[in-house]
Amino acid sequence: MAIGPMFKRSVVLKEMGITLLSIALAFAIGTIIIWIAGFSVSAVFSNLWKGAFGGKLAIGQTLAKSTPIILTSLSFLIAFRCGLFNIGAEGQMYIGAMAAAVAGAYLRLPIVLHVLVCLTAGGLAGAFWGWIPGYLKAKRGVNEFVSTMMLSYVAIGFTDYLVAPRGPLHDDKYWANQTIRIAPSAVLPRILRPTQVSMALIVALFFVLLVWYYLYRTPAGYELRSVGLSPTVADYGGIRIKRKYILALSLAGLLAGLAGSGEVLGTHLRFIGRFSPGYGWDGIAGGLIARAHPIGAIFAALLMGALRAGGMQVQRSGAAPGDIAAVLQGLVIFFIIAPTLIRTLIRRRRR
């Protein structure tokens, strides 16, 4: 009776060991690159640590940058568990952020209700943007890799138009591409002042638990994972595969939309054109670094957020260009996800 749990623990420990080894190897090669480029290795890594964890402000910066990545990682992994590649979290995040900004700026509601309405609006807008490629995949066989990516460009371009100087939602008081400020009743409170960490972090952690419970403790989550493991067997077992495709990408869009909503309601307090430095793309890496497990998404997002925050300090200190952190990030992603991607693509090709 104890064989099952022991086997699961051994698998988890093995995956953790592989992940840690991959990270260590990435940093080792990064060290060589920094040395060859002529920069001080000790100065780069000390500033990287200082910018990510060297005090309250640094930790706040790391947590603030990790918050949207947690949700975009969940967005990628819930589709990945269904055998789909959601490459469109960036666009779904922009659509969700815009919906939350409009609801926050133009509705007048009580404090708690207003926040909930804004989060719901952002989540549903993102879900709709995910539903489109899900429907195209299920009904027309359109490759979700292509459709989600293309819809990201559509979403970013569309929101750019809305907040451009002559756009319908532009704030005429400022030259920047942005909407008017949201109402005070729609603001997510800050929880680690004077940093930008807000209740959006709590929302993200809540959805980590919710996604974990859904995937591993409900029949619907079991069916979704079954489709990802073997669509043929799932179909034979009576699972409606096409519905699961639509559901998985809709849920992925909802989570990405919430990531954008959190940025609007907790950080920027308005929609700002091109506000994301690539959180949606980071989510793809985060989901794969986490081995497509919701709890692992927290640690993957912290790693990505720390590299982003630390990279800014490296650049400010003059120890090296900030792109050094991006190189380290890329190496970590490469060593962790390359084998996973190759195995997944081979498995899909065999089907």
Q: Where are the alpha helices (DSSP H) in the chain?
A: 3-36, 41-53, 56-80, 89-106, 111-140, 144-163, 200-217, 219-229, 231-236, 241-262, 279-289, 294-317, 323-350
pLDDT tens-digit series, residues 285-318: 899 888 899 999 999 999 999 999 999 999 899 8
How many alpha carbons lie under 13 Å from residue 136 in its C-beta half-sphere? 16
When pLDDT is averaged across residues 69-84 and rounded to a whole number, the result is 97
Say yes or no to pLDDT of 179 above 90.
Answer: yes
Q: What percent of the chain has pLDDT over 70?
A: 92
Alpha-carbon span 325 to 327, nearest angstrom = 5
**Which pLDDT does position 134 carry in this prediction?**
98
Task: Report whether 228 contacts 292 (CB < 8 A).
Answer: no
Cis peptide before 5 (omega within 30 of 0): no
**Which pLDDT does position 11 carry in this prediction?**
64
Alpha-carbon span 117 to 108, nearest angstrom = 11
Token pair in block for residue 241 = 């595969």
Alpha-carbon span 52 to 61, nearest angstrom = 7
Task: Report whether 51 contacts 312 (CB < 8 A).
Answer: yes
| Closest CA relative to residue 263, chosen from 92, 110, 138 | 92
**Which pLDDT does position 329 carry in this prediction?**
77
Alpha-carbon span 94 to 97, nearest angstrom = 5
Q: Domain extents for the chain?
A: 67-276
Say yes or no to pLDDT of 321 above 80.
Answer: yes
First-residue to last-residue Cα distance in the chain = 34
